[in-house]
Amino acid sequence: MRGQDTRKDLEKYFYRTSVNQQYSVSATGGSANNNYYLSVGYDKNLNNLVRNEYDRLTLTANNSFSWLKKKLELNTGIIYTEGKAHNNNTRASIPSYPYLKLVDENGNATTVPADIRQTFKDSVSKDPIAKTYLLDWNYRPYDELRFSNNTSKTTDYRINADVKYALFKGLNASVLYQYSKGFVDAENFYSQQTYYTRNLINQYTEPDTAGRLIRHIPLGGILDQNSVEYETHNVRTQLNYNTNWYNRNHTQYHQITALAGAEVRGTKTYYDGLRTYGYNESLPNLFPIDYENQFPLFQSPASIKKIDYLNSSRSQADNFVSYYLNAKYIFQRRYILSASARKDESNLFGVKTNQKGVPLWSIGVSWELNQEHFYTLGWLPFLKLRITDGYKGNVDRTVSAFTTASIDAANTYNMLSASIDNPPNPSLRWEKNHMINFGVDFATGKSIIEGSLEYYTRKGIDLIGNSALDPTTGVTQFRGNTADMKGNGVDIMLRSKNINKQFKWISTLLFSYTADKVTNYKVQQSAVWYYCDPLYMNPLRGKPLYSVFSLKWMGLDPNTGDPRGYINKATSNNYSAIINSSDLSDLIYRGPANPVYFGSLRNNFSYKQVELSFAITWKMGYYFRRPSINYYNLFYGPGPGHPDYEQRWQKPGDENYTSVPSMTWNESAYRSTFYGYSDILIEKGDHIRLQDVQLSYQLNKSEIRWLPVNQFRIYMYANNLGILWKANHQGIDPDYISGVIPPRTFAAGLKIDL
């Protein structure tokens, strides 16, 4: 965990009390055949992270007209939204060194080692030539907070229009059209004062034959500009039917509700990205940059690298067509039969028209037992049973039926080249999910206790996954309908009125269990380390999609403190062989990476105008890999230290008290990697947390006539106050295993309805 000094500095300089302000004004009116609604809203939110804030303006105008004795209706609406965000405090760039001071006693930013060894930076600052041409190479997190300038602006407007006509009693037809257009413009300006720019300019500074330094990246700032523009047209036509009747002797009740329609939606999205080096806000001149050649890096002349070319431009078109039919039949107010059928089509699938769609359906029945004459459970006046079965479709926009490729950097002939991302796949299909759901809804007298119980099974069919290909084709794998999954789960909801007098106490319990398993996946990685690395998601047949795997731990060598593993049925310190083993039996499955059990218990207390509520949440049945010292990254970077360094093996006998390996100056990447993937670092993630505490006081004009407003409410809110219990004994919050301080949110507000 972080040292106390680091935590104090972060809380003092990087955090503040969040303040969320909301203002709105609305007006309604009209006549017998016309109604209108106008509103203006403004939000100003100051994040709990210093220099992060968000402003939003919303304008809404709706109109409704009716003619022909209200048989014909026309509704129109316009919604305009404009938002601006400042995201200058990410905390991601702050190292995790224990007892790190970010500011000295005089309030000046302190230097923190980053990216390159600080001893090298210090030696460069003493070199006469380098000192003249190189920029200050020190990293000061507190200064970065002051110099950052990251803004984004979002503009969106929607225009709606729909016409509804009553053909005859119970049947009406409607046509709806919606047009949407929006822009997102983001700018991230790294001035020359920022470490990011200074570091990049210095790295691409090269001595010439005369000993002078040449800058391949010019002085000035670096400006990243990214924009997204989208435009959507949506047309839907629909028939709605609703009727009910009794038989002649009034002993049987029937009701039918149905709708049928078609929908066409088309979306075009344009993405543009531009990076400008040497940018000066007052003199925005463009300097020529050599993106083709490779240059030696100043800190490591043997390493050569091209300057990043981040300019990009692409577009995407998504077209969807849906035909659908939903119907529900109710008999005697207690038997309900529902069914739906639809066909969805997308331009992403297949190469022929009949390959682009997928037929989907669902059917459900429910039965209110309490309506039956034989039902005699007076203490349970409401009891309903239900079951549904059906299919849902899903679109994966990362794939296409056609060949997709990415443009690469220039080759040795300075010609653009491309690599195939995915070969053609004319049989590409929609992903389908088959789910069967069983449910019970119930309530006791006066709804003192009410709730629901559900059990479901689901099966994913034709899921998008990777599959190996013959390397002689020029492509080693492709993404297509190559994977299947299945799972099941339980959801329970209980609400009880524990005290229901002037003083009220209401409790709500939510509990969920969910489990899944990959039943088909055609790719098996060549080495076990792929399954341990959190940067890769490599499903393994028979295990959950997100699983925690590790390598067997055999303790520390009592003579050297080296970590020991297991391979070929023997203890070994051949780390390369261990992590590159292709035998999956050397892999240990610890459990799912996502909670299997989770839920919450919320309690609401109220007395007259005062209300207090809080929630206790829990997550159970999962595992995580805790971080520890990595000597290789510490010595050769990039990588911070870790407090486990203090617990390292130093002399024979220490292996009885610690599992942290000894430090070696010629640290092998394989040695550090094995320790990081070993079973000794796996912890249970089970924990219980207190959050969502709210205290409010409310006055209503209906109760207090002299009140000059309709409603007056003041409240205080706190979220994520801390962990009440956790299964691991390492002091780690399983939701924040990186050691970053969990964001605690405190807010106070005043709401007045005029």
Amino acid at 497: K
Mean pLDDT over 11-32 rounds to 80
Distance CA(609)–CA(700), nearest Å, equals: 9
């035909």: which residue's tokens? 323
In this structure, is the dihedral angle defined by the CA atoms of residues 196, 198, 201 and 202, taken in order, positive or negative?
A: negative
Q: Residue 576 carries which DSSP code?
A: H
DSSP 45-91: EE-SBTTEEEEEEEEEEEEEEEETTTTEEEEEEEEEEEEEEEE----
Among the ranges given (281-295, 339-353, 396-410), the one the predictor scored with the smallest mean pLDDT: 396-410
pLDDT higher than threshold 70 for residue 743: no
DSSP 321-380: EEEEEEEEEEETTTEEEEEEEEEEEETTS-SSGGGSEEEEEEEEEEEEGGGSTT---TT-
Number of other residues whose CB lies within 10 A of the CB of residue 549:
25
**Per-residue pLDDT reduced to its tens digit, 369-389:** 999 999 999 999 999 999 999
Distance CA(492)–CA(514), nearest Å, equals: 12
Q: Long-range contact list for 707-716, CB < 8 A, 24+ apart? A: 709/752, 709/753, 709/754, 710/753, 710/754, 711/751, 711/752, 711/753, 712/751, 712/752, 713/750, 713/751, 713/752, 714/748, 714/749, 714/750, 714/751, 715/748, 715/749, 715/751, 716/746, 716/747, 716/748, 716/749
Mean pLDDT of the chain: 87
Mean pLDDT over 174-185 rounds to 96
Cα-based distances in Å from 512 to 249, 282, 452, 454: 47, 58, 12, 9
**Per-residue pLDDT reduced to its tens digit, 125-143:** 888 777 778 999 999 888 8
Residue 639's pLDDT is: 65
Residue 389's pLDDT is: 97
Residue 741's pLDDT is: 62
């799912």: which residue's tokens? 592
**Per-residue pLDDT reduced to its tens digit, 528-560:** 998 998 877 788 999 999 999 999 999 999 999
Distance CA(486)–CA(124), nearest Å, equals: 59
Distance CA(410)–CA(294), nearest Å, equals: 11
Residue 98's pLDDT is: 57
Specify which residues 580 forms β-bridges with.
none
Nearest to 356 by CA among 429, 463, 263, 265: 429
Instruction: Decide if 95 contacts 112 (C-beta within 8 A).
Output: yes
Among the ranges given (126-135, 337-346, 474-483), the one the predictor scored with the smallest mean pLDDT: 474-483
Give burial (CB, 10 Å; 0-12/13-18/19+) of 168.
exposed
Distance CA(671)–CA(628), nearest Å, equals: 13
What HEC string does 413-465 produce?
Answer: CCCCEEEEEECCCCCCCCEEEEEEEEEEEEECHHHCEEEEEEEEEEEEEEEEE
Specify the pTM. Answer: 0.78
Residue 254's pLDDT is: 94
Residue 413's pLDDT is: 61
Among the ranges given (16-20, 636-640, 644-648), the one the predictor scored with the smallest mean pLDDT: 636-640
SS3 percent helix, strand, coil of the chain, rounded to 5, is: 10, 55, 35
Q: Residue 627 carries which DSSP code?
A: P
Cβ neighbors of 353 (< 8 A, separation 6 or more) are none
* Top-confidence range, 8-17, 510-519, 716-725: 510-519
Cβ neighbors of 258 (< 8 A, separation 6 or more) are 240, 241, 242, 325, 326, 327, 328
pLDDT higher than threshold 60 for residue 212: yes
Pairing of strands 417-422, 404-408: antiparallel
- Strands, E assignment, 680-733: 682-684, 687-700, 711-719, 722-726
pLDDT higher than threshold 80 for residue 5: no
The more confident residue out of 735 and 394 is: 735
The more confident residue out of 194 and 424 is: 194
Instruction: Decide if 517 contacts 485 (C-beta within 8 A).
Output: yes
Residue 647's pLDDT is: 94
Distance CA(598)–CA(161), nearest Å, equals: 43
Cβ neighbors of 53 (< 8 A, separation 6 or more) are 44, 45, 46, 47, 85, 86
Rg (CA), the chain: 32
Q: Cis omega before residue 638 (within 30°)? A: yes
- % of the chain surpassing 70 pLDDT: 89
**Per-residue pLDDT reduced to its tens digit, 81-99:** 999 999 988 765 565 555 6
pLDDT higher than threshold 80 for residue 727: yes
Q: How confident is the model at residue 1 (pLDDT cuts 50, 70, 90)?
A: very low
Distance CA(196)–CA(57), nearest Å, equals: 33
pLDDT higher than threshold 60 for residue 353: no
Pairing of strands 213-215, 205-207: antiparallel
- Can you tell me whether residue 649 is helix, strand or coil? coil
Report CA 321 to chain centroid distance, whole Å: 28
Residue 535's pLDDT is: 77
pLDDT higher than threshold 60 for residue 470: no
**Per-residue pLDDT reduced to its tens digit, 163-175:** 999 998 999 999 9
Nearest to 121 by CA among 140, 106, 102: 140
Residue 221's pLDDT is: 92
- Can you tell me whether residue 723 is helix, strand or coil? strand
Residue 7's pLDDT is: 58
Reported as type and span, the H/E element at residue 173 is strand 171-190
pLDDT higher than threshold 90 for residue 50: no
Nearest to 183 by CA among 81, 322, 49, 56: 81
Cα-based distances in Å from 545 to 491, 521, 540: 20, 10, 7
Residue 51's pLDDT is: 85
Determine the straight-line distance between the first and last CA of the chain, rounded to whole angstroms: 49
Cβ neighbors of 294 (< 8 A, separation 6 or more) are 304, 305, 306
Mean pLDDT over 658-679 rounds to 93
The more confident residue out of 434 and 462 is: 434
Pairing of strands 431-443, 449-468: antiparallel
**Per-residue pLDDT reduced to its tens digit, 594-619:** 999 999 999 999 998 899 999 999 99
Residue 315's pLDDT is: 87
Pairing of strands 587-592, 597-607: unpaired
**Per-residue pLDDT reduced to its tens digit, 386-425:** 999 999 988 776 677 667 766 665 666 666 667 776 677 7
